[in-house]
Amino acid sequence: MNKNSTLLYASVAFMLTSNVALAQQVITGKVTDGKQPIAGATILVSGSKEGTSTDANGNFTLTTNQSNGQLQIKFIGHETQQINFSSSSPLGTIVLASTDEQALDEVIVVGRGLIDVAEDRLTPIAVSTISRQIIEEKVGGQDITAALVNTPSVYVTSQARGFGESSMTTRGFDQSNTAFLLNGQPINGMDNGRVYWSNWNGLTDIASLVQIQRGLGSSKLAISSVGGTINFVTKSTDMKAGGFIKRTVGNDMLRKSTIAYNTGLMSNGFAVSAMFTDWRGDGYMDRTGGSGQNYFLSVGYKVNDNHNLNFMVTGAPQSHNQGYTASLKNFLEKGRKYNDNLQVINGELMNPRKNFYHKPVANLNWDWKISDKSALATVVYASMARGGGQSPRTDASSARVPYLAADMNNHQWFGIVSNYNRDLTENLSFNFGFDLRDYKGTHYRQVTDLLGAPSITHEIRMLDPQSRTKYETSNEFSTNPWKTWSNSAKSKEDRLAWEYDQTIRYGGLFGQLEYAKDGFTAYFQGSISQQQNIRKDYYQYEEGKQKSDNVNNLGYNTKGGLSYTLAGHTLFGNAGYYSRQPYQNNIFMNYANDINPYAFNEEILGLELGYKFTSNFFDASLNAYRTTWDNRVTGSSYFIDAKGIADNKFDTSLIQPGDLVYQSNYGVKQNHKGLELDLAARLFSGFTLKGFASVGDWKYEGDAVTISRNENREVLGTSNRDLTGVKVGDAAQTSFGAGIKYFIIKDLAIDADYRNYDRLYGALPTNGTKTLRLPSYDIVDAGISYKVVLSDKNTMSFRVNVNNLFDEFYISEATSYREAGANDAVWKGVNTSNYVLMGWGRTWSGSVKFTF
């Protein structure tokens, strides 16, 4: 090789290596919590797969091909930091703020490969994350749904009905059409999709964060949420020893005591965290008192650096009396705490309607780091529940003897979810998994109180009237949620009104591909699922004819999205199509084994566009969405009066004033579209300003078949209605608000939140083609927090909340539609004969917490 050739090759090699050197740069920094370095914090270059983690001293070194951009620094229990970088700016020390005064390094983040928090996917979605500290500050004496009220397109109501009776809508869709996950485990009821917060009272104490993903969300499971996906991520097993004792008091004699302890990581690799809570109170609405307990046990075992195991069991046995809607006239005359459920029975004024339930949940999580590029996460879970709802009844004898009975809703549910993740290349990742569930629900009615009678008579109503038989029972069964496991009706003589089993078997496969390079990301998800439904009725059918035909439905969904990030600016778009199997309660008609001809797969099309901006001082996101939902089924219930019976021409032999009417609407189509704004500003040290706004346009479209039933599930009537243009109710279509938090001194902070709700409509009435528009209203909540540091390990924390500070008198929901005539009494444009539910007035709670 001559000198010229050598010089040429050397020059080329120099230029190539110079170009590589120029294209790549090394970013260094250190991450701390303000006092100690944070080991294991995740450092990611936004819009790419480039990333690293901090070492034992909190230091990191990251090589990137980007000359400038933005880093995301994340660590469990701390606020995510967004840091801009360029070739000329050193990063130095980065301080992550704690989201929880109890934040501890954790042995395991349980089911990390299963929990679909938005940060796990690079392509953005419409999302709001609520930290442990916000949950603890904002909830006070309310349900955990109270932590979500200051987010766009979320409406929470019904809390006045009683403890755990709140309901939540997202983008105008109710809870049965929003997916709720607990550490990656589905918790919506398999028969009807509903979630009853009284069964999840303990989430307030054990959740480390809650993330609401509006619309399509990032969940990889073969579930088809319409409104969104709510992820509850619980505490796992803490590495450091310690615990806390907490006492909370509030309005209407609320008392709640909690004790928790963590063993810390022991020499054998195990660590145990446990918590127990006892609560009781009189309830806001008259005679809606309740009591219960919450328990939580988490056992973690670090097998080695590649395998983590965590076993968790939690439950919230409780009982509480219930309130319901009443005429607006009654609330105006008797106050917003008026309860229409109160009755004089055998000369005694009482509230006979009660809910009691115990639903323990256990799961075992296994996280396996197979290699630097692949991992497997699996959760095996079980849930076994007992309980029901009590109401007044009269027996089938000529004396019409009064008694109390409970409609029991027992179930056993087993499942497994597993997800395999792999980085195929530097820019392309893949995951694949399965979701298997087996559910059996048992339903019947049983006597809870004979009200002094020696026995009651009931009739087994076979479909053949000639086969109907009367039985007599003198047995009573407890409404104590701890006793429902052993003290419940077993024989035909003790099971009243109906007795049937529901069996649901479900299997789903899901997968996702995601590509990311130089600020551009794209993903595609797909899933397919098979669901089998069987109903077995022991009450209405003869032996050999009790089992229904098997009903098998295939469902699927596909969704994908794109995004582009430049510095702190991100543009993204997502689209998805779902074909979702109907719930079992909609498959079988008339509470019999008849298969519903209207129960087709529900068809959902979702489209989203969004913009996000993040910086050290200001974050904002703007989302636009459109969701079309066809072949859906809706349902509601309400108490009826004499005028309602006459209006609907119901047979008075089947229903009386004061009874509940249940209605189901089949073949409904809904169109939902809207805009959402979410922002946060850290204007100066110790001061944070947050705001949100959402404007929706939610309407029904086309014809619906409506079936009305009484409390014995007998059909009262069927009608066809054209609902085109009717406004969707039960949620405010316009809402906005703002909140501030200010540290007066280091450990003393005040906060306040303002919310306005407008264009709020009532539920779809039994007949008619309009929903009632309710008056707009404003709410202001305020709180103060103070912490006293007693030593390096011990602190005393104080918190006071005042909700609805200015005692706003407002209607939160309505279950009827009656126009205001010339001679009708009217309040803010609403006919006072309408059945409504009033929101809470001014309430308060206070707590003291000792941490050791």
Note the Cα 491 to chain centre separation in Å. Answer: 37
pLDDT interval class at 554 (50, 70, 90): very high
Query: Per-residue pLDDT for 412 more than 90?
Result: yes
What per-residue confidence (pLDDT) applies to 663?
A: 73
Once rounded to an integer, what is the mean pLDDT over residues 424-450? 94
The CATH number of the domain holding residue 690 is: 2.40.170.20
Most confident option among 152-161, 400-409, 679-688: 400-409
Mean pLDDT of 331-348: 93
Helix (DSSP H) and strand (DSSP E) numbers for the chain: 6, 52
- pLDDT value of residue 218: 66
Quick one: 445 and 301 in the same domain? yes
Contacts of 512 (CB under 8 A, 6+ apart): 121, 220, 430, 431, 432, 523, 524, 525, 526
Distance of CA 240 to the CA centre of its chain: 30
Q: Is residue 70 part of a domain?
A: yes
Taking the model in full, what pTM does it have?
Answer: 0.83
* DSSP codes joined into one string, 752-786: EEEEEEEEEE-PPPSSSS--PEEPPEEEEEEEEEE
Handedness of CA 636, 640, 644, 648 (dihedral sign): positive
CB 415 within 8 A of CB 421: no
Backbone φ and ψ for 16, nearest 5 degrees, come out as -65, -50
Answer yes or no: is 621 within a domain: yes
**Single-letter amino acid code for the residue at 750:** I
47 or 817, higher pLDDT: 817
In a domain, 107, yes or no: no
| 1 pLDDT above the threshold of 60 | no
Q: Are strands 179-182 and 496-517 parallel, antiparallel or unpaired?
A: unpaired
Lowest mean pLDDT, pick from 668-677, 703-712, 720-729, 758-767? 703-712
SS3 163: coil
Contact of 689 with 681, CB cutoff 8 Å: yes
Question: Quick one: what percent of the chain has pLDDT higher than 70?
Answer: 89
**Confidence band for 73, pLDDT divided at 50, 70 and 90:** confident
Cβ atoms within 10 Å of 326's Cβ, excluding its own: 20
Residues 214-245 have pLDDT tens digits of 887 766 666 657 888 888 888 766 667 889 99
Query: How far is residue 771's CA from residue 836's CA, in Å, rounded to a whole number?
Result: 13
Is 624 within the bounds of a domain?
Answer: yes
Res. 152: pLDDT tops 90: yes
Q: Identify any residues that bridge with 258 across adjacent strands, giving them in sequence order.
A: 246, 277
Q: Is the dihedral of CA 811, 813, 819, 824 positive or negative?
A: negative
Yes or no: say if 575 and 560 are a contact pair by the CB < 8 Å rule.
yes
Mean per-residue pLDDT, 182-206: 86
- Residues belonging to the chain: 852
Say which residue, 744 or 75, is predicted with more confidence: 744
Q: In whole angstroms, what is the distance from residue 333 CA to residue 477 CA?
A: 38
Domain finish residue from 44, 78, 98:
98
Residue 89 has pLDDT above 70, yes or no: no
Domain end position, chosen among 34, 63, 98: 98
Distance between CA 754 and CA 762 in Å, rounded? 23
Question: Can you spell out the DSSP letters for 698-738?
Answer: EEEESEEEEEEE-TT--EEEEEEEE-TTPBP-SSEEEEEEE
Domain boundary, last residue among 98, 124, 143: 98
Looking at the fold, whether 94 and 237 belong to one and the same domain comes out as: no
Identity of residue 373 = K
Give the mean pLDDT of 453-459.
92
Which residue has 């910086």 as its token pair? Answer: 615
Does the structure show a pLDDT above 90 at 562?
yes
Domain that holds residue 61: 21-98
Q: What is the rounded CA–CA span in Å between residue 745 and residue 469? A: 74
pLDDT the model gives residue 850 = 97
Most confident of 24-28, 281-285, 663-667: 281-285
Residue 420 domain-assigned (yes or no): yes
pLDDT at 110 over 60: no
- The whole-angstrom separation of Cα 725 and Cα 697 is 10
pLDDT at 168 > cutoff 50: yes
Give the phi and the psi of residue 702 in degrees, each rounded to 5.
Answer: 85, -170
Q: How many domains does the chain have?
A: 2
User: How far apart (Å, rounded) are the C-alpha atoms in residues 18 and 23?
Assistant: 8
Paired sense of beta strands 228-234 and 179-182, if any:
parallel
Position 96 scores a pLDDT of 82
In a domain, residue 215? The reply is: no
- How confident is the model at residue 10, as a pLDDT? 47
For 729, counting Cβ atoms within 10 Å of its Cβ (0-12 exposed, 13-18 middle, 19+ buried), the class is buried
Average pLDDT for 504-517: 93
Query: Do 426 and 436 meet the contact criterion of CB atoms below 8 Å apart?
Result: no
Task: Give me the CATH number covering residue 51.
Answer: 2.60.40.1120
Any domain includes 250: yes
Residue 517: its pLDDT value, please?
86
Q: Is residue 533 within 8 Å of 550, Cβ to Cβ?
A: yes
Q: Does some domain include residue 394?
A: yes
CA distance 712 to 528: 37
DSSP secondary structure letters along 272-316: EEEEEEEEEE--SSTT--EEEEEEEEEEEEE-SSSEEEEEEEEE-
On average, the pLDDT of the chain sits at 86
> In this predicted structure, what is the pLDDT of residue 44?
83
